[in-house]
Amino acid sequence: MKLQRKGGPRTAAAGAAVLSGLLALTACGSDGGAGGSGPAAGASAAAQRTVAGIACGKPGSLKGSGSTAQQYAMRDWIKNYTEACPDTRIGYTGNGSGAGQDDFLAGRTAFAGSDSPMTADQVDRSKKVCPGGGHAIHLPMVGGPIAVGYRLAGVDKLVLDAPTLAKIFDGRIAKWNDPVIARLNKGAKLPDTPIRPFHRSDSSGTTDNFTSYLATAAPDAWPYAHSKEWAADGGEGAKGSADLAAEVQKTDGAIGYFELPYAVARMIRTVSIDTGAPAPVAPNVIAASQAIAGAKTVSSGRDHVIELDYATKAPGAYPIDVVTYEIVCDKGNKPSTWPATKAFLTYMASRKGQENLTFQGYATLPAEVVNTVREEIGRLS
């Protein structure tokens, strides 16, 4: 199976702009039917419990790991689900998309969260943990903007474009008052403070999407292929989006990339991106949803991967985005954890599971994508 990616070789100011966008959206699409008959007579109270009208799965414990991009959403999903279904215990470790994929392929988890699709080789390897002819598939579950956050005394607003970001993160623009930055920020009083770029030190889908943007939108300025591992020399590394955001928050002259909820939570100022559209675009859920709505969905059997257009110039579309997938087997999921996993995934993709994500800084996926995911979950085994 060939997985594709489009393209070549995301403030105190964020707070107001983002929150206005958050209040404007609710998740779209209709709930998929749970199907099946009600509990048999004499069934236990546990078997009759529901969450958002969805029957709780068989009591048990399940583990997932991976994407830090979805960690805020996962925290609420687990809280809401386990409050309604207290006989199920769910643990999720935000250790990065690469580690989450490795955990799943080693059989250590019931599902993985990943901001990057598995490679064809990884999907082939997954057949060992998906017995009976199964293999890993991707279920798009949530999207959102990757914010480029910064801390620079006296500068409340900042505009950058792809070539400039590429040179900053590759160490070829080293001062904040560089003429290239000044041309994009006419009238701004930019200090000669050294730029301190921060990147993820772990294997990260956020890095994969950020470098996909750089490689696609600025191929002449970014000499590296997109990857979950940071390839450029220099800069400073931090493990996980939370730690990276913390470094930017406390370091004058810093710049880094992380999902919008981390910027909002820490009141970190964010960069607006000059895409070539009539006006620069700020990272908010409306702008990210608009970009994701224009993306292409590539499906193969029960597998669904969204090709983001990182070079979009559509007015109001924010180009640096991420879609997080839940990775499970199309068949051959572990019998001991699958009933609970399937019920949890069904809740995540339901209207109730999706409806409050925009208030946390996540973007809505297209309705047809969410509806397809709901249908697929019902067919998995």
pLDDT tens-place string over residues 319-365: 999 999 999 999 999 999 999 999 999 999 999 999 878 888 899 89
Residue-averaged pLDDT of the chain: 88
Residue at a domain's end among 288, 314, 343: 288
Region 117-135: what's the mean pLDDT? 97
Region 177-203: what's the mean pLDDT? 97
The more confident residue out of 23 and 330 is 330
Q: Are 206 and 146 within 8 A, CB to CB?
A: yes
What is the predicted pLDDT for the residue at 51?
Answer: 81
- 317 assigned to some structural domain: no
- Same structural domain, 167 and 251: yes
Q: What angle do CA 231, 237, 242 make, to 5 degrees?
A: 120
The residue ranges of DSSP E strands in 81-216, in sequence order, are: 88-93, 111-114, 136-151, 159-161, 196-200
- Supply the range of the domain harboring residue 239: 145-288
The more confident residue out of 5 and 365 is 365
Q: How confident is the model at residue 54 (pLDDT cuts 50, 70, 90)?
A: confident
Burial class for 226, CB neighbours closer than 10 Å (0-12, 13-18, 19+): buried
Region 44-64: what's the mean pLDDT? 79
Residue at a domain's end among 288, 313, 345: 288
In DSSP terms, 162 is beta-bridged to: none
Q: How many distinct structural domains can be found in the chain?
A: 2
251 pLDDT higher than 90: yes
Region 254-259: what's the mean pLDDT? 98
**Pairing label, strands 136-151, 321-329:** antiparallel
- Rounded to whole angstroms, the Cα distance separating 25 from 20 reads 9
**Pairing label, strands 254-259, 269-270:** unpaired
- Among candidates 267, 254, 258, 252, which has minimal Cα distance to 201? 258
- Rounded to whole angstroms, the Cα distance separating 196 from 194 reads 6
The dihedral sign for the CA sequence 294, 265, 203, 197: positive
Region 55-73: what's the mean pLDDT? 92
- Same structural domain, 128 and 213: no
- 318 assigned to some structural domain: no
242 pLDDT higher than 50: yes
23 pLDDT higher than 90: no
- Same structural domain, 112 and 172: no
Region 47-72: what's the mean pLDDT? 87
193 pLDDT higher than 70: yes
Region 164-168: what's the mean pLDDT? 98
- Among candidates 330, 378, 305, 340, which has minimal Cα distance to 130? 330
What is the predicted pLDDT for the residue at 153?
Answer: 95
The structure tokens listed for 263 are: 């910027």
- Same structural domain, 133 and 167: no
What is the predicted pLDDT for the residue at 55?
Answer: 86
Q: How confident is the model at residue 32 (pLDDT cuts 50, 70, 90)?
A: very low
- 158 assigned to some structural domain: yes
Q: Are 96 and 323 within 8 A, CB to CB?
A: no
Q: Are 313 and 305 within 8 A, CB to CB?
A: no
What is the predicted pLDDT for the residue at 360?
Answer: 83
Region 93-104: what's the mean pLDDT? 97
- 167 assigned to some structural domain: yes
Residue 8: HSE in the Cβ half-sphere, 13 Å Cα cutoff: 14
CATH number of the domain to which 244 belongs: 3.40.190.10
110 pLDDT higher than 80: yes
Region 198-215: what's the mean pLDDT? 97
Q: How confident is the model at residue 58 (pLDDT cuts 50, 70, 90)?
A: confident
Q: How confident is the model at residue 105 (pLDDT cuts 50, 70, 90)?
A: very high
The residue ranges of DSSP E strands in 105-185, in sequence order, are: 111-114, 136-151, 159-161
Model pTM score: 0.85
Lowest pLDDT segment from 53-57, 137-141, 192-196:
53-57
The more confident residue out of 323 and 10 is 323
- Give me the residue label for tokens 């983002």: 18
- Same structural domain, 123 and 149: no
Q: Are 9 and 219 within 8 A, CB to CB?
A: yes
- Same structural domain, 264 and 367: no
Lowest pLDDT segment from 13-17, 45-49, 161-165, 275-279:
13-17
52 pLDDT higher than 80: no
18 pLDDT higher than 60: no
- Same structural domain, 227 and 280: yes
